Amino acid sequence: MTITTNFYVAQMDCPTEERIIRNGLRALGGVAQLDFDLLQRRLAVTHTPGREDAIEAAIARLGMDPVRVDGAATPAPTSADLAGRLREWGPLALSGIAALAAEIVTWRTGVDDSSAVIGLALASIVLGGRATLRKGWAALRTRTLNINLLMAIAVIGAALIGHWPEAAMVIFLFALAEKIEGYSLDRARNAIRSLMSLAPEVAQVRDATGTWRAMAAAEVTVGQLLRVRPGERIPLDGMVRLGSSAVDQSPITGESLPVDKSPGDPVFAGTINAHGVLEIEVTARQGETTLARISRSIQEAQAQRAPTQRFVDQFARYYTPGVVILAVLIATVPPLVWQTPLYDAVYKALVLLVVACPCALVLSTPITIVSGLTAAARRGILVKGGAFLEEGRKIRCVALDKTGTLTHGAPVVTDVVPLSGLPVADIVRLAASLNAHSEHPVASAIVKAHTGEAAELVPVTNFRAVVGRGGVGDLDGETYFIGNHRLAEERATCSPEVEATLYRLEAEGKSTVVLGSHREPYAVFGVADTVRPTSIAAVRALHDQGVRTVMLTGDNETTARAIAARVGIDDVRADQLPEDKLAAIGELIERYGAVGMVGDGVNDAPALARASVGFAMGAAGTDTALETADVAIMDDDLRKLPEFLALSRRTARILTENIALAIGIKAVFFLLTLAGQATLWMAVFADMGTSLLVVANGLRLLRSMHSVPE
């Protein structure tokens, strides 16, 4: 039996600290698994019961301050008052002053190892470098090569060869750069944290006496009534029971305009009531709302390593020891072989250690991926992992379901063509009774056509769904079927009259349904679904990006082609059963490589799973879509698909830029170091400057979605 304990570790910013903790806990008994969330500075330890204190103590011995937290909670941010800022920045400021004073004394006296210079340098190192030296010592104890250990070696080495002012200034500049880098990373943390804090913590709830009172949102249960006034945020997911208003859903779906809401319409936690008082029945508790699922999914997604990140981490694992070996060779071989002064060789090796640290390279990928995931979420696109964000750039073909994806998915009955002596009212009642057992949109349209959903239906027994065709059931002692053209043919009721009616309705772009028994057909229904206006713009944008489009639908060929022509789809595959769609995706992958599939997340589940990236429409209303798809489009706006592809390509460009910057700048300073032209000062600027540069470049994605054309 194992349990999981969550820790918040304030000093855990990058893979440097992750490796120290992994190595430090490796020999600790009872630890089964470590899961790191570097962006939120969280560590989940899976272990045997009773090991919590030992794990906490082991992390503390590594020079870090772990704090136990529950679930997704994190400690409240520290106060930003004057005293807090002085405690945070005071020692660093004094370190800088002492380092600068040591440089001035050295410049005035020409001696860099006098007692005054050494005293000022030591003061600077103690004030500004305690954290670095402590982490370096922890890295040495756990046999982990990282920037803190390399920096500690460089500073101590510089002091030992008499470069006291330079040692002091290097430790100060490194500490300052670390602080600035931490604030830069906090921008990405705050971007995700802002999503989590959208929903208010207090709700106005009606109690048993009918009185409205304030209650903590965490205590509100499903079924209770909330009141939300104009301008207030909705605290929990629910269904409008009284009142009408427009609700700004942009935090959830990315829609730019408020959406009208009236009784029976769903609303989501974190959205804003524009005008009018709404009474809302709660449908999800705090922690189970759409907003909570989005925040949770983003955190889980950013914790997963994308392919580029896995490659960079693997590269750094071998790169850093290689650099240390090279530094040792530079410090020892030239003095032994070419009689180079030992002083110069050691100094050059120290510079190389600082320059070669892979921190910028390691930081370049996670900050870019997380920024891309957050930018997508702000626009109502929920990506379930960096791997899918990277994969999107490779997509050259997208397969789309018709109903609910290209169309509204809410068809209506337009034609009822009787084929027997039964009255139309009885025909519709029989069809609605059979279809009441189906959740297909066409079936729902026929049920609604029976004078509304609540109209009386005939009891059906022995109902059997025929996958991809329709259904069969017994009514009043007789077996009836209702389904598509294929089912009518299988039931041997496709007479010339039926064929002619089907052809005529299908030519008009309508879906057709046949009602009949083993004796004869009774009627043909024509059902029409309207095309989403956004579908036409989305397909056009996909074509502009060089992406081919394919429709995969269970509807008939004629209707499918009519819809495809209206939208602009390149290829049509009609009469597709779930296994046919799965086979089609496999064929498209062989032809195009990476293929996207867009569906409703339930009926298209096999094809969604087979596709390189599966996209679910309407995920704001369904748990299944969030669970099965790789990417969820929260507001049914298909234009988000080309936006995602554009974001994926932009992410890939920034990843390439960051890796090129990290490696390119290092390469230049490698050459300068080997030529003896680089100093420790320059090494710190090269290392931390590159880190800040790649972080800032990655953060550009947080505003990139605003520039993607719709």
Q: pLDDT by residue (tens digit) across 415-424?
A: 999 988 888 8
Q: pLDDT tens digit string along 648-688? A: 999 889 888 888 887 888 788 778 877 777 777 677 677 67
d(CA 378, CA 270): 12
| Nearest Cα to Cα of residue 362 among 61, 666, 66 | 666
287: left (phi over 0), alpha (psi -120 to 50) or beta: left
Strand partners for 279: 227, 242
State whether 695 and 615 are in the same domain.
Answer: no
Closest CA to 21 of 79, 66, 51, 53: 66
Instruction: Write the burial class of residue 292 (CB in 10 Å: 0-12 exposed, 13-18 middle, 19+ buried).
Output: buried
SS in 3 state form for 190-256? HHHHHHHCCCCCEEEEECCCCCEEEEEHHHCCCCCEEEECCCCECCCCEEEEECCEEEECHHHHCCC
| Dihedral angle of Cα 131, 133, 135, 140, to the nearest 10 degrees | -170
Give the residue carrying structure tokens 């505003």. Answer: 703
389 and 422 fall within a common domain:
no
Look at residue 180 and tell me whether its pLDDT is greater than 80.
no
What is the pLDDT, as a whole number, of residue 710?
A: 37
User: Is residue 182 domain-shared with residue 311, that is, in the same domain?
Assistant: yes
Q: Which residue has the higher pLDDT, 399 or 378?
A: 399
The pLDDT tens digits for 344-361 are: 788 788 777 777 666 666
Question: Whole-angstrom Cα distance, residue 635 to residue 644?
Answer: 14
pLDDT of residue 275: 80
pLDDT in tens, 560-618: 888 888 899 999 998 887 778 888 998 999 999 899 999 875 567 778 888 888 888 86
630 is catalytic: no
Structure tokens at 255: 């829609």
Answer whether residue 76 is part of any domain: no
Give the model confidence (pLDDT) of 225-243 as tens digits.
Answer: 999 998 888 999 999 999 8
Report d(CA 458, CA 140) in Å as an integer: 78
CATH of residue 61: 3.30.70.100
In a domain, 643, yes or no: no
Using pLDDT thresholds of 50, 70 and 90, give the confidence band for residue 538.
very high
Q: In what order do the strands lie in the sheet with 31-37?
A: 31-37, 42-47, 3-9, 66-69
Amino acid at 133: L
CA atoms within 13 A of residue 198's CA, in its CB half-sphere = 26
Count: domains in the chain: 5
Q: Residue holding tokens 């590159």?
A: 690
- Residue 327 domain flag: yes
Same domain for 176 and 305?
yes
CATH number at residue 542: 3.40.50.1000
Residue 645: inside a domain, yes or no?
no
Question: Which among 357, 377, 369 has a CA at the least distance from the CA of 666?
Answer: 357
Rounded-to-integer distance, Cα 145 and Cα 268, Å:
47
Place of tokens 């893979």: 15
In a domain, 677, yes or no: yes
Q: What is the pLDDT of residue 79?
A: 46
Residues 417 and 495 in one domain: yes
DSSP one-letter string for 56-104:
HHHHHHTT--EEEE-TT--PPPPP-SHHHHHHHHHHHHHHHHHHHHHHH
Whether 591 and 603 map to the same domain: the answer is: yes
Six-digit token pair at 666?
A: 């290092």
- Beta strand pairing status for 613-617 and 594-599? parallel
Counting every residue, how long is the chain?
710
Per-residue b or e along 113-123, where b marks 16 or more CB atoms closer than 10 Å to that residue's CB? eeeebbebbbb
End residue of a domain, out of 288, 323, 358? 288
Residues 279 and 314 in one domain: no
Judged by phi (left if over 0) then psi (alpha if -120 to 50, else beta), residue 578 lies in: alpha
Of 469, 504, 528, the domain-final residue = 528
pLDDT digits (tens, 9 = 90+) for 268-308: 888 888 888 899 999 988 878 877 776 666 555 555 555 66
Distances (CA, A) of 612 to 87, 439, 609: 51, 28, 8
Cα distance between residue 237 and residue 244, in whole Å: 16
| CA atoms of 38 and 8, how far apart (whole Å) | 10
pLDDT tens digits, one per residue of 133-176: 887 787 787 777 666 777 787 788 778 777 788 778 778 877 77
Token output for 542: 């996909």
C-beta of residue 523 within 8 angstroms of C-beta of residue 513 = no
Is 461 found in the same domain as 345? no
Determine if the pTM surpasses 0.75.
Answer: no
Residue 253 binned pLDDT confidence (cut-offs 50, 70, 90):
low
Confirm whether 354 is domain-assigned: yes
Tell me how far CA of residue 547 lies from CA of 68, 594, 642, in angstroms.
48, 11, 9
58 and 16 in one domain?
yes
pLDDT at 709 exceeding the cut of 50: no
Tell me, rounded to whole angstroms, the distance of Cα 109 from its chain centroid. Answer: 58
Q: Burial of 295 by CB count in 10 Å (0-12 exposed, 13-18 middle, 19+ buried)? A: buried
Has residue 444 been placed in a domain? yes
- Check: CB of residue 295 under 8 Å from CB of residue 321: no
Mean pLDDT for 306-324 is 67
Tokens 């930018």 sit on residue:
375
> What are 669's two structure tokens?
């300073």
Q: Is the pLDDT of residue 50 over 50?
A: yes
**Residue 101 sits in the same domain as residue 59:** no
In this structure, are residues 388 and 503 in contact, taking their beta carbons and an 8 Å threshold?
no
Q: Is the pLDDT of residue 624 over 50?
A: yes
Residue 121 covered by a domain: yes
> Measured between alpha carbons, how far is 610 from 605 in angstroms, rounded to an integer?
9
Alpha carbon distance, N-terminus to C-terminus of the chain = 51
Q: What are phi and psi of 454, to 5 degrees?
A: -90, 5
Q: How many CB atoms lie within 10 A of CB 3?
A: 13
CA distance 302 to 366: 8
Its domain, for residue 45, covers 3-69
Shared domain for 543 and 627, answered yes or no, is yes
Question: What CATH number has the domain bearing residue 506?
Answer: 3.40.1110.10
Distances (CA, A) of 610 to 341, 414, 547, 581, 603: 64, 36, 19, 10, 13
Q: Strands 478-483 and 511-517, how do they pair? A: antiparallel
Where is the domain boundary, 583, 607, 634?
634
Q: For residues 125 and 161, state if they share a domain.
A: yes
The single residue of 13, 401, 635, 687 carrying the catalytic annotation is: 401
